[in-house]
Amino acid sequence: MTTESSLGSDPAESQLVLDMREREQLRRLQLLKLLQGYVPDLPEQTLGAIASQFAPVEFNEGHRITVQDEPGNAMYLITKGTVQVLFTPFGGAFGASPQELARLGEGDLLGEMALVFNQPRSATAVALEPVEAFSLSWDSWIRLQALYPAFAAKVQEVAENRQRENEQST
């Protein structure tokens, strides 16, 4: 295990730790920028408090990020990569094939409908390439709704718009 005091002994290891920290800081700045796009009127300190509730996650190509009809315990804000959203009518019964509803990328929310409407996942989302995102858990969503209603209202608006679009597509 590496400690702060031992980082100076191996320059390569020290550089790796610094690179990882720098990458995490850049990802956090990107998260703040994307959140600001959703709620531009919020002060930077408020955006920082909202961002602190998100955790970085990564998915490999082909990974099913969400699965239709499973419980929704998190939503994601995509920072890199492309996700295909698929809906299978009748849950695949009667030979129904999946239909593409959308392709999501940087700046898009994924899985917000399950949190906003407190319902199972309405679709399956698959990473078409490596995906980086930030995850917001159910507990954090409940906390943010109470503390930052402007943010919650924007996420709800996105969920309602997406629900309407999906109903028209299926």
Please name each of the domains of the chain with its CATH number.
54-169 (2.60.120.10)
Side chain identity, residue 129: E
Per-residue pLDDT tens digits of the chain, which is 170 residues long: 444 444 556 777 766 666 778 888 899 999 999 999 999 999 999 999 999 999 999 999 999 999 999 999 999 999 999 999 999 986 655 667 889 999 999 999 999 999 999 999 999 999 999 999 999 999 999 999 999 999 999 999 999 999 898 777 65
User: What are the start-end ranges of the H helices in the chain?
Assistant: 11-38, 44-51, 112-116, 138-147, 149-169
